[in-house]
Structure 1
């Protein structure tokens, strides 16, 4: 993972568009670590903000925000656990004011596609960070949730359990998402824009299970459950009841069909098509078999 160290290796080309120092929040997460790596490869000084990293940053501890922002040209804002979560609006309001006061020039905010609560948090950051260039990247459900996230254990055990019914979702590869984020941080022309990024086409969870099974050579079945059943399942894994209920409600809302369409956001920003879930599955699960 990229750390809070300038990339000064011989042969490194500066392609940061004048953005030299970038704070990456949630830098140990799926998107943050990929964004940090790519920014470092472009020659930026990356402040990889996390609870235990070289740049202390914790969304639950506002006292860590101002020191991490001080002297930064730009920041990638990935609020944990989700921009639709309770507390996100106030966090965006406070963070935005601190960013503007610290002289940050550019912000890229990760948001959720089709999340009404996230829109309120987006606006809070936009208003508070007055004078700062803000780009919002609204992403669909991550492909990596099946390999790195909360669904990975079930997939490894051969059963994909989720409150999605037969709804399809245009899953986004997080590597594509990270490329989009880095482009918005280092290139001009994105200020004030909202980019909705998805994979190339909607895919149902039964097809997801079949693609993983095909790539891995192991059976994987999809079992649809209700929102209440999924909340109970999460509680059984040790999540507090309130948190489990919130996650279950969020997933059920996101996968009620209103997001079941693809966008051309990746192509508009990067000039290429996004990677399909089938290609992602082949790469992740298609290695040497035991």
Structure 2
């Protein structure tokens, strides 16, 4: 989607946090393609930005007019909301005018971060509250198991109306430069909910491969994560998200994509059709 360049301000860049992530990288690409001055926010950028090192914030925010905030690894981790609130304050003091926040659908902590942003009277804001991404099946998380031809999942996961990260980026990039999204909260889902095994079955059909899907108790799944060497804090995060976000509270479809962009969200079938030919899901 083309982003308007009519609000270009080369002297005051847009800071994109999580610039190497699924949504941040896409937001960065869209803004650059439209000719906007942008600054990548990551440990490897210059100046560097780290959530855990507040001393890096001042340089990253210098001269910035708007910020895309995607907190890593997730807003539900202990201390994340306090850190993000402190960042809002630092951004306001630095003269930032607008923040676009990536939030998590059904996460109580993410909603706390939303309310804090809405209460920050010195900042204009847009909130994109998203469901799980299509790209979790092709860019990390489940990719290795899909390639191996067997995926293990915990029991009890409700159907999820997965969303395309490209839809999120279309909205976020536009909201950073277009005031018509000012003070809007968009709840973003795909057009229908389906289960993880149903998603895997679609990928298997598109790739003409057998991909087994094994369902085990949540405690056993947590044990497998630990045995695989996943750090304890990440094990906790995965189990928390599975048991909180995927307990059924997020199964209903929302209509934020259409509200923001005037078109329906991309479908999982479309995502599979364009991703399968890349070979990312091929056996290795």
Partner of 1:3: none
What is the aligned partner in structure 2 of residue 33 from structure 1? 25
Q: Structure 1, residues 268-287: CA drift from partner, whole Å, max 9, x if none?
A: 11111111111101111135
Partner of 1:4: none
Equivalent position of 1:238 in the other structure: 229
- How many Å separate the matches in 2 of 1:287 and 1:24? 27
Would you say 1:277 and 2:273 are equivalent positions? no
SS in 1 for 2:180: coil
2:99 match: 107
Aligned in 2, Cα 1:55/1:227: closer, same or farther, shift over 3 Å?
farther
Query: 2:266 aligns to what SS in structure 1?
Result: coil
Q: Structure 1 residue 254 and structure 2 residue 261: aligned?
A: no
User: Within 2, Cα distance between the matches of 1:130 and 1:215?
Assistant: 49
Matched, 1:182 2:162: no
**Structure 1 unmatched runs, 5+:** 1-11
Structure 2, unaligned runs of 5 or more? none
Matches within 5 A, 1:158-173: 158-163=149-154, 165=156, 167-173=158-164
SS across alignment from 1:130:
coil
The 5-angstrom pairing of residues 1-290 of structure 1 reads 14-16=5-7, 21-127=13-119, 129-163=120-154, 165=156, 167-287=158-278
Q: Secondary structure at the match of 1:134?
A: strand
Instruction: Report the aligned-residue RMSD.
Output: 2.0
Structure 1 SS opposite 2:270: helix
Please give the per-residue CA displacement for 1:64-99, whole angstroms capped at 9, x wherever unaligned.
Answer: 112111100100000001111111111112101111
The whole-number CA distance in structure 1 between the counterparts of 2:111 and 2:4 is: 37
Number of residue pairs aligned between Structure 1 and Structure 2 = 278
Query: Given the two structures, how large is their TM-score scaled by the length of structure 2?
Result: 0.91
Q: Distance in 2 between matches of 1:80 and 1:166?
A: 23
The list of structure 1 runs, each at least 4 consecutive aligned residues, that deviate by more than 4 angstroms after superposition, is: 17-20, 287-290
Report 1 or 2 for greater relative contact order, CA contacts < 8 Å, sequence distance ≥ 6.
2
Show CA shifts across 1:135-191 (max 9, x none).
Answer: 111000000001002111111111232235352111101011100111111111222
C-alpha deviations, 1:9-46, integer Å up to 9, x for none? xxx97244669510000101111110000011111111
Measure how far apart 1:134 and its partner are.
Answer: 1.1
Q: Does the 8 Å CA contact 1:165/1:225 hold for their aligned counterparts?
A: no
The answer to whether the Cα contact below 8 Å between 2:157 and 2:246 also exists between their aligned partners in 1 is no
Structure 2 vs 1, CA of residues 18 and 53 (structure 1 numbering), >3 Å: closer, same or farther?
closer
Q: 1:126 to 1:92 in 2, by over 3 A?
A: farther
